[in-house]
Amino acid sequence: MTDGRSWEGHWRVRLYERVRERGYDSLTAFAEARPTASLVALAEELGPDDIAGVQVFGGLLAEAERRKQVTRLVRGLLVRELAEALPNGWPAVLDDDKRLKVAVALGTWTAYTPETHKGRVKQARAALRAAPPPPGWLPRGPDDELLLTLLPDEEA
């Protein structure tokens, strides 16, 4: 966890230097090599004392916008949130504890979703609640078949 130094200096330069030091040409490539790692985990790997999860998210969003792959990024964010909240996959029974974990994962996902995709994410959340995925479902990346039906690519 950072101690407040994340915003000191040229943090974007520092972020991309760390990505290149690890052999990746983009933050997206670095993150996609770890599709279930949380944004905080990605930040800690890049710099536990001076990189924050929100900075990783900002970089990923900027790259996704340039590549016209924001929907794919949004699906990837859900993968990360579900992996953290539900490491054993979608629960067979939504008792109070599991319902809270699902709500936190979906709420955090929504919070990180860019405004351009909020409506689509709300529809996807409603679809997941109306017809829950099979017990144990846990997507391993943004191209999961169910995720693609919930949030198909629209960018051109």
- Name the more confident of 155 and 130: 130
Question: Residue 40 domain-assigned?
Answer: yes
Tell me: the pLDDT tens digits for 9-43? 678 899 999 999 999 999 999 999 999 999 999 99
What is the rounded radius of gyration, in angstroms, for the C-alpha atoms of the chain? 16
pTM value is: 0.91
Same domain, 49 and 11: yes
Longest dimension (CA), the chain: 48
pLDDT, tens digit, for every residue of 103-136? 999 999 999 999 999 999 999 999 999 999 999 9
Higher pLDDT, 62 or 155: 62
Residue listed under structure tokens 């099979």: 134
Q: Identify whether residues 25 and 88 lie together within a single domain.
A: no
Asked if 75 and 63 sit in the same domain, the reply is no
CB atoms within 10 A of CB 151: 20
Q: Are 124 and 81 in contact (CB under 8 A)?
A: no
**Inside any domain, residue 41:** yes
For the four alpha carbons of 75, 77, 81 and 83, in that order, the dihedral sign comes to positive
Mean of per-residue pLDDT scores for the chain: 93
30, 14: one domain: yes
Q: Are residues 87 and 136 located together in one domain of the fold?
A: yes
pLDDT digits (tens, 9 = 90+) for 68-105: 999 999 999 999 999 999 999 999 998 999 999 999 99
Q: How far apart are CA 42 and CA 20, in angstroms?
A: 14
Shared domain for 82 and 11, answered yes or no, is no
Please check whether residue 57 is in contact with residue 39, taking contact to mean a CB–CB distance below 8 angstroms. Answer: yes
Domain termination site, one of 48, 67, 86: 67
Whether the Cβ atoms of residue 94 and residue 85 lie closer than 8 Å to each other:
no
Of 16, 39, 67, the residue at which a domain comes to its end is 67
The answer on 104 and 53 residing in a single domain is no
Confidence of residue 156 (pLDDT cuts 50, 70, 90): very low
How far apart are the C-alpha atoms of 130 and 16, rounded to whole Å?
Answer: 41
The 8-class DSSP code of residue 5 comes to: G
Q: For residue 23, what pLDDT is reported?
A: 97
Domain holding 95, by residue range, is: 70-150
Q: Which of 67, 90, 117 is the last residue of a domain?
A: 67
38 domain-assigned: yes
**Are 82 and 116 within one domain?**
yes
Q: What's the domain count of the chain? A: 2
Quick one: 74 and 138 in the same domain? yes
